[in-house]
Structure 1
Amino acid sequence: MSTGRAIEAVTQTLRSLLGQVAAQVTARPPDQAREAGTGGAQLNLFLYDVAPNPAWRNLEPPARSAGGALHPPLALDLSYLLTAYGDTQDEAPAHRLLGEAMQLLHDGAVLTRAKLSGVLAAAGVHLQPERVRLTPVHLGIDEQSKLWSGFQTNYRLSVAYRASVVLIDALTPADAPLPVLRRGRLPLDALGQDQGVPVSVGAAPRVDRLTVSAWRGNPSFPARTGDGLAVDGAGLAGGRVRARFDHPRLPAPLWADAAAGSTAERVLLPVPPALPAGVATVTLAIGPPEGPVITSNSLPLAVAVRLGPPALGAVGATTVRVRVPCDRLLVKDQPVLLLVGGAQLRPTAPVRPGAVPSFDVPRTLPARTPLTLRLRVDGIDSVPLSEPAADQTKPLPTAFDPAQQVVLP
């Protein structure tokens, strides 16, 4: 594809074409087009704007779409101002020259490979997959006035053209992976060909709602270790049903089989103990492990930690060291905050896997005042309420759990 000299190649190609109607074709700013001592018929081609091409800006080159990590080319539109000068003070010869130049560019609106390679083949513009096309652009009185006044020179009759599109290849080479040897499962068929990608006929499963069963389907409560999940939707049967739990802090997803009592409209799932706190996504996969497997859409799942009994540590004049254990293993550098008494406290030391975080709680309230603790991990707060009753007919708890409170001396 094109190199960094692509802009120069297009400009030089246009100058070469315009040389058929004028002996003198320059590429100067408007205020320097007619240098002192020069005269005669002249065409001046000035590049006044370079803009990204919106159609090609995010389009990958088709020849590289199978490579993996891709980098699109730099796609540009070049805007030129074409001005004609006569050999006398009369403007009529300049008008004739401008008309002939416009006629020439109208007939050669597409810059062919031969034209581009004949002027500057090293630029490689003739090798790009898209042709460079010339389009006349109307500049209003206001635009022309700003353009000419910016060069502090007298206005002359001009016409604008846009050359689109010029593709400049990236300097970073694309990856070159090995070819795919087969698709689908083994064994091969009688002719030694692969079986292709397995497909199945029917509507894909749809997941509409994901809630924690213990909280009666209240979506404001996060999931915790030991909780059961209820996934409501449609088409959630037809084979083995598994759930894939993805988390940005996991190197690989976690899998869990559907629990007993699942139906085509509701799938019951356990919360994997190894799922870190934060925001995960849940996707259902239906079908045998050897395939074909149909996957549903994904829904977010808020995962919180369960707090253990807090322990008091060193007592200072203004703060008290409090250790707050939790059931879920914290990931290295995972953001952790302790919410207590309206304050958000950072741990006294960086979070390390397996370590119990400690916090310096300020002594701003009277002594022996119980303080309810909440641990915010990756943006998800622990639930400071008592455990809900197993009996679904009983109301949800509305009081804070004393086991998640601390009393400062």
Structure 2
Amino acid sequence: MSTGRAIEAVTQALRAGLASLAPVTARPLDRARTGAANGPQLNLYLYDVAPNAAWRNLEPPTQAGGGAGLHPPLALDLRYLLTAYGDGDDEIAAHRLLGEAMQVLHHGAVLARAGLKGVLAEAGVHLQPDRVRLTPVHLGTDEQSRLWTAFQTNYRISVAYQVSVVLIDTLDPPAAPLPVLKRGRAPVDEQGRDEGVPAGASAGPRLDRVTVEAWRGNDSVPARTGDRLVVEGAGLTGGPVRARFAHPRLAQPIWADAAPGSTAERVLLSVPAALPAGFATLVLAVGPPEGPRITSNALPLPVAVRLGRPSVLPVPGRPGTVRVTVPSDRLLVDDQAVLLLAGGRQTAPNTRVRAGAVLSFDLPHPGAAGAVVTLRLRVDGVDSVPLPEPDPAKPLPTRFDPVQQVVLP
């Protein structure tokens, strides 16, 4: 999710997109021409920041222990006023510059992730799940008059834009309870599977859900290296089927062929080894490689790291603190957002995240000596699976994996 510098990142991205036309400033209306050489200029002024109504009404996705609701992200709409100035304050030149600027913004109505990362990568806006979109907004005569009068300056021809949505993460992370192992007094069937929700038919390729085959339809388990995916839908015929895996941390998507045994309603896929942990997007394309192809709707695909056996040792000179070392597979890439979940706490790693590195975490002793603590690794918002690999001949596991637990010294 984005940090508190998200607003700055959006403004910088808009300025960078317009910089090829003329110098771009971000000043209040009464100071836009201050210090300018009276030449061509664009001024991008952020005049309003408002909560996003759609995200504001969404319930948090889960609940913390004790029924306390999770903190949703701060969802904002940013409203800008773009003003053009011609050379020597010539109005015809200003009109030409304004039209060219509007053309550029219309072409880039969805802010590219690469552009947001390039101007301010640490803001994290390029990693948020919703794309940032730019929409022109009509300001009536009265509203524009009040805006310019408030700055006690002469009106210049301007156009307003709204940027939506910018998501800023909370500073106070919620509690991290362990996942529910079993629902109700008894499983739905002898293998512990939940029933799916029926979906209506529609024309063309349609994806309804994606699950990990070993977990028999349990769509709460994320994908990992070595897993085989089951993609359920309709109309997945008419030629070879290929899967397109996209991820915010990949410059290019990953393509993979459907595995043998796929049908028009059920496509089997292997999780690409190069797909990073976090939230990916899956689309199926039906048709020959040379075209034409028909693409399906997109489904989110959470991807988790696979943990090795962790170790825990006391930290010398720091009583009450233990150092936990957690090996994980190669789905971890540079500078991912990583947290260790242990004993209801969330702890950042001791060093910067590097691909292939074994991470260590210093955390306050989360229990009495000899207590068993289950560990999870949260990478870009997706938690590792603290359960053992399911046995096809037995019901799904309902106990935590001892390999992913440590005994406190």
Q: How does the TM-score come out when normalised to structure 2?
A: 0.52
Match of 2:321 in 1: 319
Provide the rounded CA distance (Å) in 2 between the counterparts of 1:357 and 1:76. 52
What corresponds to 1:77 in structure 2?
Answer: 140
For 1:364 and 1:233, the matched residues in 2 are separated by: 44
Q: Which has the larger radius of gyration?
A: 1
In the alignment, which residue of structure 1 is the partner of 2:3? none
Gaps of 5+ in 2: 1-80, 82-98, 110-133, 144-155, 161-201
- Which residue number in structure 2 is paired with residue 338 of structure 1? 340
Deviation readout 1:271-314 (Å, 9 max, x if unpaired): 11111111111000011111001100000011111100112355
- RMSD over aligned CA atoms reads 3.2
Q: How many residues are paired up?
A: 235
Q: 1:323 to 1:297 in 2, by over 3 A?
A: same
The CA deviation at 1:364 is: 4.0
Query: Which residues of 2 match residues 254-265 of structure 1 at below 5 A?
Result: 254-265=254-265
Question: Counterpart of 1:86?
Answer: none
- Percent identical pairs in the alignment equals 63
CA distance in 2 between counterparts of 1:297 and 1:364 reads: 44
- Residue 357 of structure 1 and its aligned partner are, at CA, apart by 1.1
**1:74·1:168 contact (CA, 8 Å) conserved in 2?**
no
| Aligned residue number for residue 370 of structure 1 | 372
Task: Confirm or deny: 8 A CA contact 1:374 1:382 kept in the other structure.
Answer: yes
Per-residue deviation, 1:167: 6.3
The corresponding residue for 1:220 is: 220
* Aligned-residue offset at 1:75: 5.0
SS in 2 for 1:249: coil
Q: How does 1:195-214 map to 2 (within 5 A)?
A: 203-214=203-214
Aligned to 2:355: 353
**Per-residue CA distance 1:214-242 (angstroms, 9 max, x = gap):** 11111111111111111111110111100
2:253 corresponds to: 253
Secondary structure of 1:274's aligned partner: coil
In 1, the alpha carbon distance for the partners of 2:340 and 2:136 equals 48
The question of 1:68 aligning with 2:117 is answered: no
Measured in 2, the distance between the counterparts of 1:222 and 1:315 equals 33
* Cα distance change, pair 265–335 in 1 and its aligned pair in 2 (3 A): same
Aligned to 2:272: 272
Query: Does structure 2 conserve the Cα–Cα contact (< 8 Å) formed by 1:75 and 1:167?
Result: no
Kindly indicate whether the alpha-carbon contact (under 8 Å) linking 2:273 and 2:331 is maintained by their aligned counterparts in 1. Answer: no
Give the equivalent residue in structure 1 for 2:147.
Answer: none
Displacement after TM superposition at 1:354 (Å): 2.1
Corresponding residue for residue 403 of structure 2: 403
Residue 328 (structure 1) shift: 3.1
Deviation at 1:361, TM superposition (A): 3.0
Q: Which residue of 1 aligns with 2:94?
A: none
* TM-score, with structure 1 as normaliser: 0.52
SS in 1 for 2:296: strand
Q: Which residue of 2 aligns with 1:299?
A: 299
- Give a deviation string over 1:367-405, Cα, whole Å, max 9, x none: 2222111111111111111110133xx210111111111
The change in CA–CA distance for 1:74 and 1:168 in structure 2 (over 3 A counts) is farther
Task: Kindly indicate whether the alpha-carbon contact (under 8 Å) linking 2:241 and 2:285 is maintained by their aligned counterparts in 1.
Answer: yes
- Seen in structure 2, the aligned counterparts of structure 1 residues 288 and 364 have a Cα distance that, compared at 3 Å, is closer
Q: 1:73 to 1:381 in 2, by over 3 A?
A: closer
State the partner residue of 1:283.
283
Amino acid of the structure 2 residue aligned with 1:68: H
The CA distance in 2 between the partners of 1:263 and 1:372, in whole Å, is: 39
Three-state SS of the structure 2 residue aligned to 1:214 is helix
Q: How far has the Cα of 1:72 moved from its partner?
A: 7.7
Residues 73 and 396 (structure 1), Cα distance of their counterparts in 2 relative to 1, 3 Å cut: closer
Q: How does 1:131-142 map to 2 (within 5 A)?
A: none
